Structures are given as C-alpha cells and as structure tokens.
Amino acid sequence: MSYLENNLKTIPTGWRKVLHLNWALVLLLSTVASVGFVMLYSVAGGSLEPWAAPQMKRFALGMGAMFIVAMVPIWFWRNMAALAYIGSLLLLVAVELFGTTGMGAQRWIDLGFMRLQPSELMKIAVVVMLAAYYDFLDIRKVSRPLWVLLPVFLILLPTALVLRQPDLGTSILIIAGGAIVMFVAGVHWAYFGAVFAMVVGLVAAVFSSRGTPWQLLKDYQYSRIDTFLDPSRDPLGAGYHITQSKIALGSGGWNGRGFMQGTQSRLNFLPEKQTDFIFTTLAEEFGFVGGMGLLALFGLVLAFCIASGISNKDRFGALLTIGIGGTFFLFFAVNMSMVMGLVPVVGVPLPMVSYGGSAMLVLLLAFGLVQSAHIHRPRGRL
C-alpha cells in the first residue's frame, strides 16, 4: 500500500483513480506476459510470427480493457454480475448451436475480429456471479442447505454445457473456481467434506466394481480411464506427449539449454508447444531457475490477490478478488502439474503465457475487476 493510499480517507474519483491502481500488479502481469512473448518467439524458431506478435497485440488490447474495467466502480460490476453470468450462459448455448469446431471440440464463436471462447468467459463469470450472490446473501444463511444448493446449481449449469463440448479442463476449472468462492464465503466445512467423500466414494465404487458382475462402466471405458490416469501405458498415443514433456523439462537441468536451444520444442517433439506445453519449453530452455522464476511471479500475483482480498472490507470485492486469484492459481497449478506428469493431460493453458486470445483477454478483464475492487474498496473506519 502506498503512502498516498494510506492517507486517503475516501474512495478516489475521476482521473485520480489512475494513481490508485495497483501498479505493482500491472508490472507483474506485464512481466509474466513478456515471458510469454519471449517463449512464443522462441518456439516459433526465433520469429514474432505466428504467435508472439498477435499475442502482444492482444495483450495491449487486454491491458486497455483492464484499465477501463478498473475505472468503473466495483458496485456497477456487482450489479452487472447476473447479467454477465446469463450472457455467458447464452454464449455457451450459442456455441453449442453454431460454434466452430476446432481441435476436436466445439469451443469457439467467430466474432469476425476474433474468435470468442465463451467457456473462458464463464470461468470468470461464475466467480463474479457467486461473489455477488454471497454479497447479497445474509451471512447467517450461507450454510443453509437451500442457499448452498443454489450456487451449486449456478456452478453445475455452465459446467454441464462446457462438458458437452467436450472440455474437461475448463469444466474442472469452473467447478473449482466456484468452490473456492463458496469456501471463502464461509460455507460450512461439512459440505466440502461431504462432496469430497462422495467423489471418493464414487471413484472407489467405479473402480472396485471393475471385473464384478455389477461393474458400473463398460470395459473400454475402464481402459480409457487407465490410459488417462497412466499415459505410460500408451507410449505412442496419450503417453507420448507427457513423456516428451518430461524429457524436455528434465533435459533443461539447472539453468537450461539456452534461449532457442531447446531441442525438444524446436524439433517438434513437444506437442502444442505454443499453448498447453509452453511451460515445458521455458523449463527446457531456462532450466530449473527459469521455471522457479515464473512460479515465483505467479505466486506474487496470487499473494497480491489474497492480500488485497483480505484487506478489502467490501464483501463482494473481497470474494471477487480472492476468487479470481484462486482461478488464476488453478490455471497455472493444473497446467504445470499436467506438463510435469503429475496429473493427466486435460488441456488447460498457462495463464498470461500460453498463446490464446480469449484466455488472455478474459484474464485481463478479470484483473481489471480486481483492480476496480482494489481502487473502490471502502476506506477508513467502518
């Protein structure tokens, strides 16, 4: 918190708001995005095309959008939450109806100037919606079953639509993002415990029933799950990507093979090197030091969100900030776990770094909301 802010008793207005932006966060995000540009330049074989230059343009566009969103008072956004949620939901339905199929899944709507991926929008919309819901809800009712069921429904409705595309990664992120908001809002432990127990029970039931007369899934479905959980069973198919990714990471060593010297990515052993596996390229070329550096940057962004959320006395602003921070965490945590071979490959990009327009724009819009909450937080004694 700057000296300037500490002395401010009232919420800034007009152009003065610009001074109250959290510039440290802007700098952090720019740094992370720059790492992305460098890596995109590298995987293109030392060229701005086809990835680095468009990514820079989108970043500039996104930054602009972030500032605009940040300038608008947070209560306006709170009032818009339901609208944003419904809008995103309609877009998801639209994708279902007229979407473009790409990469084996129906995810995009072509807007002419860009391809919009409504599922990206939904990740944030769910957080905003739930934050607004808990801001509206009497805190004494937070853990009452009926009032718990409603947000669960709000989460599962878009999840079901995304799952139909099919996009397992995004579905998980939507559920997890929503769950984080619910958790921070103070929903009772028991609910989380129950859901956790249910999931464990279901998984146990599915697996223990295998081979018995009452097995729950078909044999081929089991073998698909096996490959999903243990890709090394299929070294030329599903296992190929993860094996190559581990080789790339491992061969990076302590300080990497050098900028543009990663043989795994340059010789196309890495799949999707500009999107899902960009972290692998970074770790191959800049080694453990480079990888930990990026992880640290992500950690700082997350730390800011949590600190800002805790210090924000506005319930909506706090939940929103922590929720968006949590979603951001989920993005990079799932992506990194995936490329390190800790979890199965589910197709989640690395936030701010991976090539991709929708994700970058939506994230910057989300951070615009975080900035808005930060600027327009209540000041002085309550």
Partner 1 sequence: MKRAAKDTLASARTISRRALILGGAQLTFMGGLGLRMRYLQVDQADQYLLLAEENRINLRLLAPARGLIYDRNGVVIADNEQIYRIVVVREDAGDLDETLAKISRLVALTADEIERARRELRRRSSFVPVTIADRLNWDEVAEVAVNAPALPGVTPEVGLSRYYPMGEDFAHLVGYVGAVSEKYLEQSGDDDPLLEIPKFQVGKRGAESELERTLRGSAGTRRIEVNAVGRVIRELDRIDGTAGAPVQMTVDSRLQNFVQARLAGQSAAAVVLDVETGDILAMGSAPSFDPNKFVRGISRADYRALLDNKFRPLPNKPAQGAYPPGSTYKMVTALAALEAGVVRPEETVYCPGFLEVGGRKFKCWKRGGHGNVNMEQSLKYSCDVYYYEMSLRVGIEKTSEMARRLGFGRRYDLPVSSISAGLTPTKDWKFARHGAEWLIGDSVNASIGQGYVLASPLQLAVMSARLATGRAITPRLIKSIGGVEQPVRDGEKLNINENMLRVVRKGMYAVSNETRGTAYRSRIIDEAMQMAGKTGTSQVSNALVNNKEVPWEQRDHALFVAFAPYDKPKYAVSVVVEHGGGGSTAAAPVARDIMLQAQYGQLPPLTAYPASQRSTIKARQDALQLRQIKPGSGRSRA
In the bound state with partner 1, the residue whose beta carbon lies nearer, of 119 and 264, is: 264
Task: Please tell me whether residue 193 binds partner 1 under the rule CB under 8 A.
Answer: no
Task: Please tell me whether residue 3 binds partner 1 under the rule CB under 8 A.
Answer: no
Least Å from the CB of residue 272 to partner 1? 12
Task: Please tell me whether residue 156 binds partner 1 under the rule CB under 8 A.
Answer: no
Least Å from the CB of residue 357 to partner 1? 26
Nearest to 130 by CA among 81, 170, 83, 84: 81
In the bound state with partner 1, the residue whose beta carbon lies nearer, of 37 and 183, is: 183
In the bound state with partner 1, the residue whose beta carbon lies nearer, of 82 and 163, is: 82
Least Å from the CB of residue 309 to partner 1? 6
* Token reading at 141: 């009712």
Q: Which of 64, 166, 235, 250 binds partner 1 (CB under 8 A)?
A: 250
| Amino acid symbol at 46 | G
Q: Between residue 168 and residue 187, which ones bind partner 1 under the rule CB under 8 A? A: 180, 183-186
Task: Please tell me whether residue 249 binds partner 1 under the rule CB under 8 A.
Answer: yes
Q: Between residue 26 and residue 65, which ones bind partner 1 under the rule CB under 8 A? A: none
Q: Which of 59, 133, 269, 277 binds partner 1 (CB under 8 A)?
A: 269
Q: Between residue 270 and residue 299, which ones bind partner 1 under the rule CB under 8 A? A: 270, 283, 287-288, 291-292, 295, 298-299
Map tokens 């995004």 to a residue: 170
In the bound state with partner 1, the residue whose beta carbon lies nearer, of 229 and 292, is: 292
In the bound state with partner 1, the residue whose beta carbon lies nearer, of 46 and 186, is: 186
Counting residues that bind partner 1 (by CB under 8 A) gives 51
Least Å from the CB of residue 38 to partner 1? 19
Q: Which of 158, 326, 349, 356 binds partner 1 (CB under 8 A)?
A: 326
Least Å from the CB of residue 122 to partner 1? 21
For the chain, the three-class secondary structure string (H helix, E strand, C coil) is: CCHHHHCCCCCCCCCHHHHHCCHHHHHHHHHHHHHHHHHHHHHCCCCCCCCHHHHHHHHHHHHHHHHHHHHCCHHHHHHHHHHHHHHHHHHHHHHHHHCEEECCEEEEEECCCCEECHHHHHHHHHHHHHHHHHHHCCHHHCCCHHHHHHHHHHHHHHHHHHHCCCCHHHHHHHHHHHHHHHHHHCCCHHHHHHHHHHHHHHHHHHHHCCCCCCCCCCHHHHHHHHHHHCHHHCCCCHHHHHHHHHHHHHHHCCCCCCCCCCHHHHCCCCCCCCCCCHHHHHHHHHHHHHHHHHHHHHHHHHHHHHHHHHHCCCHHHHHHHHHHHHHHHHHHHHHHHHHCCCCCCCCCCCCCCCCCHHHHHHHHHHHHHHHHHHHCCCCCCC
Task: Please tell me whether residue 235 binds partner 1 under the rule CB under 8 A.
Answer: no
Least Å from the CB of residue 25 to partner 1? 16
Q: Between residue 330 and residue 369, which ones bind partner 1 under the rule CB under 8 A? A: 333, 336-337, 340, 342
For 268-329, the three-class secondary structure string (H helix, E strand, C coil) is: CCCCCCCCCCHHHHHHHHHHHHHHHHHHHHHHHHHHHHHHHHHHCCCHHHHHHHHHHHHHHH
Task: Please tell me whether residue 302 binds partner 1 under the rule CB under 8 A.
Answer: yes
Task: Please tell me whether residue 67 binds partner 1 under the rule CB under 8 A.
Answer: no
Which of 30-38, 117-125, 133-141, 162-170 is the region at the interface with partner 1 (rule: CB under 8 A)?
133-141
Which residues make up the interface to partner 1 (CB under 8 A)? 135-136, 138-139, 180, 183-186, 244, 246-254, 263-264, 267-270, 283, 287-288, 291-292, 295, 298-299, 302-303, 306, 309-310, 313, 315, 318-319, 322, 326, 329, 333, 336-337, 340, 342, 382
